[in-house]
Structure 1
Amino acid sequence: MLSRTLMCLAVISASTPLLADTVWLKNGDRLSGKIKVFDGGKLLIQTEYAGAIAIDWKQVKTLESDQELLVKQDAYTGEKAKSLRAAEAGKVTLANGEAPKTVELASIQQIIKPRPVIEDMVWKGNVDMALDYQRAEKDTNSYDIDFKTSARHGKWRHTAEGEYNREFQNDVVTTDNWRAEYALDRFITEKWFWEGRLTYRRDKVEDLSRQRTVGTGPGYQFWDDELGAFSLGSLLNRTDYEYKGGGQDNFYSLAMKWDYNRYLIGKTVQLFSSGEVGKPLSGVANYALDAEVGLRYKVTEWASLNLKAERDVISGTENSDLSKTRYTAGFGVAW
């Protein structure tokens, strides 16, 4: 009987999480869960009983965590603590071996979970959808679907993205195009990487009906953490244009691309922007720009509402300047 009791206790102990983060509030309440991030005055803690909870940092009395966390007391430097230990009101102790350090909560600007340089596999992405129905003198139906996903394995990163746009006005197709892109990055150091990229565009309405671009070049990853990522890349591109009337252009160009996203307000709002601007080495065009900027508001852990503006410019071709601007609002999912 005693042996069975001990066995039951062992099973229960093994199945119960031993490590849980705890936040004590100034009003006497206590929350247990897993600290996700602190930024913008909000501490985000994931709980089993209420999901993700954003806590006003000014209401925190002290906290503790058994996670390894990066604690930043200014915008540029931070201390990687093996764990956090509760201290007197308004303070927390950064436990790091034999030299623990107690700091004021008011001095902390960010708490994030550090990412190792090489990870076995990290996969993330999002799909955004937008529908627009207008009934007026001209009935308009508009559809827009975008996706972007990336997978990091060791020193390699795979990125795939695409979009599809279609619009009708009084049952006449006024927009019908799609784009697909694949990029492969090889990290040389923690920040520097070399990229190879292939892009294909198809437009069944505009004069420029097909675009194919192959490019390669170095890039720099400024950061990639729980709060977002930012990278810049320079590319040497070979681009081919095909026009509806049968004309063709092909040229080499130098381009600069960017990819930026940043969570705000306790990871409830995401600001994002990506794009590329290029200058042909020959006189085929003056420049080309493909850019987007937008906001996502997280409704749940996986669902969001989004607002986005897109701008495509091809200036100085032999046909005419080709410019398009689109504004969309819709629903999306992320992982």
Structure 2
Amino acid sequence: MLSRALLCLAVFSASTPLLADTVWLKNGDRLSGKIKVFDGGKLLIQTEYAGAIPIDWKQVKTLESDQELLVKQDAYTGEKAKSLQAAEDGKVTLANGEAPKTVELASIQQIMKPKPVVEDLVWKGNVDMALDYQRAEKDTDDYDIDFKTSARHGKWRHTAEGEYNREFQNDVVTTDNWRAEYALDRFLTDKWFWQGRLNYKRDKVEELARQRVVGTGPGYQFWDNELGAFSLGSLLNRTDYEYKDGGKDNFYSLAMKWDYNRYLIGKRVELFTNGEVGRPLSNIADYALDAEIGLRYKVTEWASLNLKAERDIISGTKDSDLNKTRYTAGFGVAW
């Protein structure tokens, strides 16, 4: 009898599929997979048959999950549920032992896996590298590396980025510069935020040797979810220029800053652009533009190939204008 019971148990276990998260839609469809995140009105579920599928939250009837998930009903606080259980239309039950709680789907703003220390921490970023070696009438060695990372927790978002460029032609340095920036955003509402930022550029070849910028101002986050993000910010900047010959300028300016990225083709391809355009409040310069646009193609979950174009313009300075365009292709990592 014992052997028969064990045999039945083994057959039952083999025929039972592994537990998976399930999402029921209002049109009667049902999707099974693993819930990755819900943010910005999109629920992302990872499936074996179609990869990552984004679902409009308004189309979800109910859902269930065997994962431990952090469910946030406002922008700053959340409840950690041991699992999610299907409920009546438009609702879900947060299972926490003897005290389950059923909530409206419309009241949920975010669902994610809780982090070990800061439970609602969302951290993402990328590092891109490009190397170019040409052996011809002019031997050229070109190196480029840049990074960008952001971490958001509650009302705060930290963003750090930087880049380094160096180029030789016949052993003569023709490009040698680096840049670093840090920005701190404080969200006033779900969309509006106030930003403070510091930016420093150093160039050992161009006449404009150093640029220091301190700025602050409001911004608006149009969206930020698993499929991409888009924000605009307006800044009042204090800028200091230092030239190669020792000359200096400082002035205040108004600037518009943008940051956009969008994932396409099942998140295999990323289109991105970011930059800043500004105009001084005095006659020090006409305008300044620092922008980039590019594509990343994901080879694996973390590795990618990238193609990028950068434009850096400072027009109308009394000592020397700056007008540079740079194209790079390389590889990188993302998280």
TM norm. shorter chain > 0.5? yes
Change (3 A) 1:262 1:119: farther
**What amino acid is aligned across from residue 154 of structure 2 in structure 1?**
G
Change (3 A) 1:56 1:251: closer
Q: Determine helix, strand or coil for the equivalent of 2:110.
A: coil
Q: Determine helix, strand or coil for the equivalent of 2:234.
A: strand
Structure-2 residue corresponding to 1:175: 175
In the alignment, the residues of structure 2 paired with residue 129 and residue 184 of structure 1 have an alpha-carbon distance, to the nearest angstrom, of: 26
Q: What does the per-residue CA deviation read over 1:127-186, in whole Å, with 9 as the maximum and x for residues that have no partner?
A: 000000111100000000010000101100000000000000001100000000000000
Change (3 A) 1:79 1:190: farther
In the alignment, the residues of structure 2 paired with residue 270 and residue 136 of structure 1 have an alpha-carbon distance, to the nearest angstrom, of: 34
In the alignment, the residues of structure 2 paired with residue 120 and residue 331 of structure 1 have an alpha-carbon distance, to the nearest angstrom, of: 30
Aligned pair partner of 1:115 in 110, 120, 131: 110
1:146-225, aligned counterparts within 5 Å? 146-225=146-225
Q: Does 1:132 align with 2:132?
A: yes
Q: Does 1:83 align with 2:68?
A: no
Kindly indicate whether the alpha-carbon contact (under 8 Å) linking 2:182 and 2:199 is maintained by their aligned counterparts in 1: yes
Kindly indicate whether the alpha-carbon contact (under 8 Å) linking 1:45 and 1:53 is maintained by their aligned counterparts in 2: no
Q: CA deviation at 1:33?
A: 3.3
**What amino acid is aligned across from residue 305 of structure 2 in structure 1?**
L
1:1-335, aligned counterparts within 5 Å? 18-21=19-22, 33-34=33-34, 46=46, 54=50, 70-71=55-56, 78-79=58-59, 81-83=61-63, 97-99=87-89, 115=110, 120-335=120-335
Q: Which runs of 4+ in 1 moved over 6 A?
A: 116-119
Change (3 A) 1:280 1:257: same
Q: CA deviation at 1:235?
A: 0.2
TM-score by length of 1: 0.73
Change (3 A) 1:21 1:303: farther
Structure-2 residue corresponding to 1:92: none
Unmatched tracts of structure 1, length 5 or more: 24-29, 38-42, 58-68, 73-77, 85-94, 102-112
Change (3 A) 1:55 1:150: closer
**What amino acid is aligned across from residue 277 of structure 1 in structure 2?**
V
Kindly indicate whether the alpha-carbon contact (under 8 Å) linking 1:44 and 1:55 is maintained by their aligned counterparts in 2: no
Change (3 A) 1:44 1:155: closer
Change (3 A) 1:167 1:184: same
Q: CA deviation at 1:83?
A: 1.9
In the alignment, the residues of structure 2 paired with residue 56 and residue 181 of structure 1 have an alpha-carbon distance, to the nearest angstrom, of: 33
Kindly indicate whether the alpha-carbon contact (under 8 Å) linking 1:130 and 1:330 is maintained by their aligned counterparts in 2: yes
Q: What does the per-residue CA deviation read over 1:45-93, in whole Å, with 9 as the maximum and x for residues that have no partner?
A: 646xxxx764699xxxxxxxxxxx8526xxxxx4454328xxxxxxxxx
Unmatched tracts of structure 2, length 5 or more: 25-29, 38-42, 65-84, 92-107, 113-117
Percent identity between matched residues is: 76
Change (3 A) 1:192 1:129: same
In the alignment, the residues of structure 1 paired with residue 311 and residue 331 of structure 2 have an alpha-carbon distance, to the nearest angstrom, of: 20
Kindly indicate whether the alpha-carbon contact (under 8 Å) linking 1:119 and 1:154 is maintained by their aligned counterparts in 2: no
**What amino acid is aligned across from residue 219 of structure 2 in structure 1?**
G
TM-score by length of 2: 0.73
Q: What does the per-residue CA deviation read over 1:80-135, in whole Å, with 9 as the maximum and x for residues that have no partner?
A: 54328xxxxxxxxxx9854469xxxxxxxxxxx96369972111100000000111
Change (3 A) 1:96 1:18: closer
Change (3 A) 1:100 1:237: closer
In the alignment, the residues of structure 1 paired with residue 52 and residue 122 of structure 2 have an alpha-carbon distance, to the nearest angstrom, of: 30
CA RMSD of aligned residues (A): 3.5
Kindly indicate whether the alpha-carbon contact (under 8 Å) linking 1:115 and 1:225 is maintained by their aligned counterparts in 2: no
**What amino acid is aligned across from residue 110 of structure 2 in structure 1?**
R
**Matched positions, count:** 274
Kindly indicate whether the alpha-carbon contact (under 8 Å) linking 1:70 and 1:81 is maintained by their aligned counterparts in 2: no
In the alignment, the residues of structure 1 paired with residue 197 and residue 249 of structure 2 have an alpha-carbon distance, to the nearest angstrom, of: 20
Kindly indicate whether the alpha-carbon contact (under 8 Å) linking 1:253 and 1:279 is maintained by their aligned counterparts in 2: yes
Q: What does the per-residue CA deviation read over 1:274-327, in whole Å, with 9 as the maximum and x for residues that have no partner?
A: 000001000000000000000000000000000000000000000232110000
Structure-2 residue corresponding to 1:75: none
In the alignment, the residues of structure 2 paired with residue 157 and residue 44 of structure 1 have an alpha-carbon distance, to the nearest angstrom, of: 22
Kindly indicate whether the alpha-carbon contact (under 8 Å) linking 1:119 and 1:152 is maintained by their aligned counterparts in 2: no
**What amino acid is aligned across from residue 215 of structure 2 in structure 1?**
G
Kindly indicate whether the alpha-carbon contact (under 8 Å) linking 1:308 and 1:328 is maintained by their aligned counterparts in 2: yes
